[in-house]
Amino acid sequence: MTKIKLCGLKRPQDIQAANELLPAYIGFVFAPKSRRYVHPARAEELRRMLNPGIIPVGVFVNETPETVAALLDRGIIDIAQLHGKEDAAYIRRLRQLTKKPLIQAFRIDTPADVAAAQASTADYVLLDSGAGGTGTCFDWSLLKDIQRPYFLAGGLTPENVGGAVATLHPYAVDVSSGIETDGAKDKEKMTRFVRAVRGVPGKDEEP
């Protein structure tokens, strides 16, 4: 079954909702310019509240490898997601500092972007819309030839994620803005998103 990552969590109630829904992953955003930014000390508090069966991922944008490795090795996060201009040399340096898994994000506009993701030395790749973080989808037909498992991101919502999973069969789906209302995580949308991925009818749907 396709795994789920609920990203951009920053409040205790977000963690409580995740603990009920049990996605495979949740994401803490450590990019200071993001409106979803969470301070590492706050993330550490939230991690202690998190169900131990859920893997916390840290999202970074052009952060120093030393800072990323420190958060991994302190156990605040278990996986680092690189969402900036990090290259193969950056990944090599980070691997010298930590043995924890890495996700490299790619913004998909052209077949060349897909080829770059295919060649990534990271443990996982995440494929996002070219605009990145705008809640819009990219052209999924570009993925027809990709040969490695990937996290699908970019514009996913409770309404369209079921179709995405049925069509593309990604390793995982990643959502942030699609489960928000007025800039905050919405438990009802989180629940509908998870149900859509898992094919579980909602209370108002026919079985």
| pLDDT mean over 157-166 | 94
Q: What sign does the dihedral 122-124-130-135 (CA atoms) show?
A: negative
| pLDDT mean over 132-148 | 81
pLDDT tens, 79-107? 999 999 999 999 999 999 999 999 999 99
Is pLDDT above 80 for 200?
A: no
Any idea what DSSP says for residue 86? -
Q: How far apart are CA 44 and CA 157, in angstroms?
A: 28
Q: How far apart are CA 135 and CA 153, in angstroms?
A: 9
User: Which residue is listed with tokens 């990944």?
Assistant: 91
What separation in angstroms does the CA of 25 have from each of 5, 119, 136, 174?
Answer: 4, 24, 21, 9
pLDDT tens, 9-60? 999 999 999 999 999 999 999 999 999 999 999 999 999 999 999 999 999 9
The phi and psi torsions of 6 (rounded to 5 degrees) equal: -100, 115
Catalytically active residues are 7, 128
What separation in angstroms does the CA of 200 have from each of 101, 104, 133, 157, 173?
Answer: 30, 30, 27, 15, 16
Q: What sign does the dihedral 19-20-25-27 (CA atoms) show?
A: negative
| pLDDT mean over 148-167 | 94
Is pLDDT above 70 for 167?
A: yes
pLDDT band at 132 (very low <50, low <70, confident <90, very high): low
